[in-house]
Chain A
Amino acid sequence: MAKPTRLAVQGLAVALVVGLLALLVWRVANDNGKGVSQRLDDGEHPTAPAFDLSRLDGRGRIDLASLRGRKPIVLDFWASWCVPCIHESKRLEAAQKEYGDRVAFIGVDTKDFSSDARQWQKKHGITYPSVHDGSGSVLSKWGGLPIPRIFFVARSGRVVGELIVEEDLPRYLRQIAAS
C-alpha cells in the first residue's frame, strides 16, 4: 500500500476510535442512570423531572414544570392493561374528593393505546386528568416499570415520596397539602 493511502487509512481508523470514545463519554455524562424512584430509595428528594404531554381527553397539554411553586402534585403512572392500576387509581379518585382543591392529581397513561385508556377511565370513573406517555420515556425517568407507580411532589417541585404501602397515601397527601 502506498504511504499516503496507508496514512489516510490509519488516520480514519484513529478518528473512528476517537469518535466512538467521545460518544461513550457523552452518553455517560448525559445519563445519571437513576430514576426518581431509585433516588428516593437512596434518601434523596430530587426535583420532579419535567414533562409536557398531551392530555388524554384532548383538552390541550399538561406541563408539569408550570405547576412548580403553585400546587403540590400526585402523579399516577398507569395503563389500561395494568390490573393493579384499577385499585390504585380508584383510591386516588376518592382522595381527590378531599384534597382536590389543594393538590393536583395527574395521571400518566404509559405504554398504552390512548383510545383504550380513555375507555378505561370512563369505565372505572376516573375523573382526574391524564396525559399520554405512549413511548414510556417519561416513565423511565421516574423509575420505569412495573406500574402502578404513584409519586408525591411538594409545592416546591421536590419529590417527597413514592407510594409503597397503603398507609403512604394519607401520610404523603397530608405532607404535600401542607407544603
Chain B
Amino acid sequence: MKRLLLFVLFALVLVPAARASERHPSLAELEGEVMCPVCETTLDQSSSPAAQQIKRVIANRIAAGDTKTQIKDRLVAEYGDAILAAPPREGFGLVAWWLPVIGILVAAVVVGIGARRWARAREPAPVGPPLDPALERRLDDELRRFEG
C-alpha cells in the first residue's frame, strides 16, 4: 500500500512537469536533445556555425509558441532522424530502447540460475541411514582383526 502511495505521489509530481516541458520547452533542454549535424555532439556542446543556426531556429520556434514535439518534428523534417540525440520510439529505433532492458533481464536470469546451481553444489552430501548394530559390530571386529 505504501509503495502504491509513493508511486501515485511521484506520478503527481512528474506528469505535470513533463507536460509543462512539452508545452513550453526551454532552449537549454532542447540543446541537450538535438544533435549538431556537423560535429556529432549535442547542440549544448557545440558552438559551430551549423549548431548556432539550429539554436536560432529553436529559439524562434519557442518564441512562436511551438511545443517540443512540433519543434523536433520540424527539425527531423529538415535534417532526418539523426538530428535527435535519442533514437525514435518507433520502428527500428525501438531496438535501441528495448535491447538494454532485454539484456539486463537476460543477464539477471543467467546470474540467478548460476547462483542457484552454485548454492546447490555447496550443500553437504546427504548422510545415509544408520548401519544395523549387528553389522556395525561385525565391521568393528573385522577391522580389529585386520589391524591386529
Partners in one complex: yes
What is the distance, in angstroms, from B90's C-beta to the closest C-beta of chain A? Answer: 18
The CB with the most chain B CB atoms within 10 A, among A82, A111, A112, is that of A111
In the complex, chain B residues 111-134 whose Cβ is within 8 Å of any chain A Cβ: 113, 117
Residue interface bits B27-58, CB-to-A below 8 A is 1, else 0:
00000000001100000000011101110010
Q: Do A134 and B53 touch across chains, with their CB atoms under 8 A apart?
A: no
Q: A residues near B, CB below 8 A? A: 1, 79-83, 111-114, 116, 134-137, 145
Bound form: Cα–Cα A134–B37 in Å: 9
Bound form: Cα–Cα A145–B38 in Å: 8
Q: Do B79 and A116 touch across chains, with their CB atoms under 8 A apart?
A: no
Please, which residues of chain B bring their CB within 8 A of the CB of A113? 53-54, 57, 78
* B59 at the binding interface (Cβ < 8 Å): no
Please, which residues of chain B bring their CB within 8 A of the CB of A145? 38
Given contacts A79-B50, A81-B52, A134-B77, 17 further A-B contacts (CB under 8 A): A1-B117, A81-B49, A82-B49, A83-B49, A111-B37, A111-B79, A112-B50, A113-B78, A114-B78, A116-B57, A134-B78, A134-B79, A135-B37, A135-B80, A135-B82, A137-B80, A145-B38
Q: Do B52 and A135 touch across chains, with their CB atoms under 8 A apart?
A: no
Bound form: Cα–Cα A144–B86 in Å: 23
Main SS of the interface on chain A? Answer: loop
What is the distance, in angstroms, from B36's C-beta to the closest C-beta of chain A? Answer: 9
Q: B residues near A, CB below 8 A? A: 37-38, 48-50, 52-54, 57, 77-80, 82, 113, 117
Bound form: Cα–Cα A145–B48 in Å: 13
Please, which residues of chain B bring their CB within 8 A of the CB of A136? 37
Known A-B contacts A79-B50, A82-B49, A134-B78; A111 and B113 likewise in contact (beta carbons under 8 Å): no
Question: Among A1, A80, A83, which residue has its beta carbon within 8 angstroms of that of B53?
Answer: A80
The CB with the most chain A CB atoms within 10 A, among B50, B52, B54, is that of B50
Bound form: Cα–Cα A113–B50 in Å: 9
Jot down 28 A-B pairs with beta carbons below 8 A, ordered by A: A1-B113, A1-B117, A79-B50, A80-B53, A81-B48, A81-B50, A81-B52, A81-B53, A82-B49, A83-B49, A111-B38, A111-B50, A111-B79, A112-B50, A112-B53, A112-B78, A113-B53, A113-B57, A113-B78, A114-B78, A116-B57, A134-B77, A134-B78, A134-B79, A135-B37, A135-B79, A135-B82, A145-B38
